[in-house]
Amino acid sequence: MTEQIGFFLLSWLDPSLLALTAAGTLAGIYIGAIPGLSVTMAASILISFTFTWEVNAALALIAGVFTGGVYGGSRSAILLNIPGAPAAIATALDGYPLARRGEAGVAIGLSTVMSVIGGFVGIIALAVAAPVISDFALLFAPRDYLLLAVMGLLLVGTMSGESLAKGLFAGALGVALGMVGLDPMTAEGRFTLGTVQLMAGIPYVAAMIGFFGVSEALVQLHNLRVKPVKQDVSRIVPPWHLVRKYLPLSLRSSLIGVVIGALPGTGGDIAALMAYDQAKRTVKNPSRPFGEGAYEGLIAPESANNAAVGGAYVPMLTLGIPGDAVTAVIIGALFIHGLKPGPMLMIETPHLFWFTVGNLTLANIFLLVFGLTGIRAFAKLVECPPSVLIPLILVLSVVGTYAIQNSVVDVYFMLGFGIFGYLLKMYGFQVGPVVLGMILGPMIDVSWRRAVISVGDDLGFFVEEAFASPLTLVLLAFMSFLLLSQVPFGALWRRLRGQPPG
């Protein structure tokens, strides 16, 4: 036990490791905040960079960047409506309306505290229950991923805005866009028009930046003469009673984050979206309606995406299976440093486990410090006149998109989606469901096909297997509940009887 505490405190007591974790967290916040720069990219660059270092130093730096980066995405989502990373898409839904109300400071402060709470829940889950969670994650069969993705797609209902029909159209459009590229199962080209550029598909980060950032900038052109909203920066650290009030929601969302993060096929983006959906369904009296600046709509995704960080480490440290793209890179880093990532890692190098737990804890403490400082300057950014802010958003969008994979084609896509998104918004369509469809559509596609291939196209066998699995049954029951609880049976019954609704 004392030995484990020693490993846990390794990076707390060693000044150079302490400094590296701090530097990583700070750098991560800015990498996360700039759309297009991703944590995966930063981590893989760090591997080449830290090749000659000691492995502990490299891991400390990466843990900091990971923690900071997942949080950083919320900054640009709240201030500019450009999610800095896919994990911050859900944050933009209520975060940006808060900034437009002059509450950017409160929003950033609250998202910082909730991210840290989520981060700690993830770490506790990792430290206490890692083997149990990773065994649970292995239970998910292709059909269960299908159910998860379909549940995620039900979010279209909550993201549709004024018209469900328009929301469904936008969601379906996103699914279709997500299908572009080589079929992941047969390598057959789909909608590629015979060009190589389309073979890798349309990067959904480019679409995300276009649909959220550029289209919002274009919408802003309509009210150039409107004076920017004055930002209230008198209170940055959220009052204790607010934190305590939202703690249960934050914990609930964090648990979703841990599980979704630990699943090898899903990461922080889906965790945040599902947590947002959960909040919208369970919170009876939100501070404001969702989508108009509800604190709940900010807290749920921000807790969940940081909890997903701890979750992603779970299968990586216990089984050598990456929980997401970043942990896949970390596995590569361990390998290059001569360690053997795999199921024996925890047995043969137990210090690595507690070192990582200690590191993540430290990174979250730094996150709290860095996250709560400098908010004032950031919040004032939104007070810039449109003539400064709009070009800034456009430049950031172009640079960020180019940075994804140094491709000009992606920039054209991004600009095209920006203009298209502007037109959609003008006609009352929401752009959120499009991006949601692009993320979940491909997951539904491959999970469904894998599930059907698994049973040799035998539907009877499919049903038999699904009913033999308690996990599938629970997911199925939960999804049915989600669907049925939203159906207005009373009104339907009255309509069938020919009575006027009322």
Q: Which residues bind other proteins (CB under 8 A)?
A: 40-41, 43-44, 47-48, 51-52, 138-142, 181-182, 184-187, 196, 199-201, 264-265, 315, 319-322, 325, 328-332, 335-336, 338, 340-345, 347, 405-406, 446, 450, 453-454, 456
Q: Which residue do the tokens 């007591």 mark?
A: 13
Phi and psi (nearest 5°) for 378? -65, -45
Smallest gap, in angstroms, from Cβ of residue 457 to other proteins?
9
Q: How far is the CB of 345 from other proteins (least distance, A)?
A: 8
- DSSP symbol at 382: G
Judged by beta carbon, residue 200 or residue 243, the one nearer other proteins is: 200
Q: Which is nearer to other proteins, 383 or 465 (CB)?
A: 465
User: Judged by CB, which is closer to other proteins: 221, or 344?
Assistant: 344
Q: 187 or 377: whose CB is closer to other proteins?
A: 187
CA 313, CA 321: separation in Å to the nearest integer?
9
Give the residue with the Cβ less far from other proteins, 162 or 458: 458
Q: Shortest approach of other proteins to residue 420 CB, angstroms?
A: 23
Which of 140/370 has CB closer to other proteins?
140
Nearer to other proteins, 184 or 391 (CB): 184
Q: Locate 339 and state its tokens.
A: 């360690």
Q: How far apart are CA 260 and CA 329, in angstroms?
A: 19
Contacts 24+ apart (CB under 8 A), 346-350: 346/317, 346/318, 350/4, 350/7
- CA 502, CA 487: separation in Å to the nearest integer? 16
Shortest spacing between CB 315 and other proteins, in angstroms: 8
* Count of CB atoms situated within 10 Å of the CB of 272: 36
DSSP line for 45-59: HHHHHTTTS-HHHHH
Residue located via tokens 């699995």 = 469
Q: How far is the CB of 172 from other proteins (least distance, A)?
A: 24
- Residue 72: is it exposed, middle or buried by C-beta count within 10 angstroms (0-12/13-18/19+)? buried
CB nearer other proteins, residue 350 or residue 428: 350
Comparing CB distances to other proteins, the nearer of 27 and 236 is: 27
In the complex, the smallest distance separating the C-beta of residue 65 from other proteins, rounded to whole angstroms, is 14
Q: Shortest gap between Cβ of 137 and other proteins (angstroms)?
A: 8
Taking only Cα atoms into account, the Rg of the chain, rounded to an integer number of angstroms, comes to 22
Least distance CB 331 / other proteins (angstroms): 6
Structural element, H or E, at residue 263: none
Q: Which is nearer to other proteins, 287 or 318 (CB)?
A: 318
CA distance 249 to 235: 22
CB of 112 to other proteins, least distance (A): 28
Q: Got the DSSP string for 289-352? A: -TTS--HHHHHHHHHHHHHHHHHHHHHHHHHS--SSHHHHHHHHHHHHTT---STTHHHH-HHH
Name the residue nearer to other proteins (CB basis): 5 or 474. 474
DSSP per-residue letters across 163-206:
-HHHHHHHHHHHHHHHT-EE-TTT--EES-TT-STTTT---HHH
CA 121, CA 311: separation in Å to the nearest integer? Answer: 9
- Quote the least distance from Cβ 293 to other proteins, whole Å: 37
Shortest CB 305 distance to other proteins, Å: 20
Rounded to whole angstroms, how far apart are CA atoms 265 and 144? 11
Smallest separation, CB 485 to other proteins (Å): 30
82 or 308: CB nearest other proteins: 308
Cβ partners under 8 Å of residue 65, min gap 6? 24, 25, 27, 28, 31, 39, 42, 43, 46
Q: Which tokens in the block code for residue 347?
A: 């047995």
Rounded distance, CA 208 to CA 86, Å?
A: 8
